[in-house]
Amino acid sequence: MARPKQQDARREELLRAARAVILRRGLHATRVRDVADQAGVATGTVTYYFRELDDLFDLVFAEAVERFCTLREQDAASRPDAREQLVSLIRTGLPTGPDDELCCLLYEFSPQARRQPTDARLRRELYGRQVDLYIRVLGAGAQAGRFTLRRPAAEIAANLVALEDAYGYHVIAQTFMTRETAEQHLFGYAALATGDSTLTV
Binding-site ranges for a second copy (CB under 8 A): 26, 28, 104, 107-108, 110-111, 113-115, 120, 123-124, 127-128, 150-152, 155, 158-159, 161-163, 165-167, 169-170, 172-177, 181, 184-185, 188-189, 192-193
Stretch that binds DNA, among 29-37, 90-98, 113-121, 132-140 (CB under 7 A): 29-37
Kindly compute the dihedral angle of the four CA atoms of residues 74, 77, 78, 80, in this order, to the nearest 10 degrees: 170
Out of 12, 24, 26, 33, the residue judged to bind DNA by CB under 7 A: 33
Q: Which helix (H) or strand (E) holds 52?
A: none
92 binds, among a second copy, DNA, none (CB under 5 to 8 A by kind): none
CA 173 – CA 176 distance, rounded (Å) = 8
41 binds, among DNA, a second copy, none (CB under 5 to 8 A by kind): DNA
20 sits near DNA (criterion: CB under 7 A):
no
25 sits near DNA (criterion: CB under 7 A):
no
Minimum Å gap between C-beta 80 and a second copy is: 28
Out of 12, 24, 26, 42, the residue judged to bind DNA by CB under 7 A: 42
For residues 193 and 150, is the Cβ–Cβ distance under 8 A?
A: yes
Which residue's CB is nearer to DNA, number 41 or number 142?
41
| DSSP alpha helix (H) spans, the chain | 2-25, 32-39, 43-49, 53-77, 82-93, 101-109, 117-143, 153-173, 179-194
How would you label 167-185 residue by residue, b for 16+ Cβ within 10 Å and e otherwise?
bbbbbbeeeebebeebbee
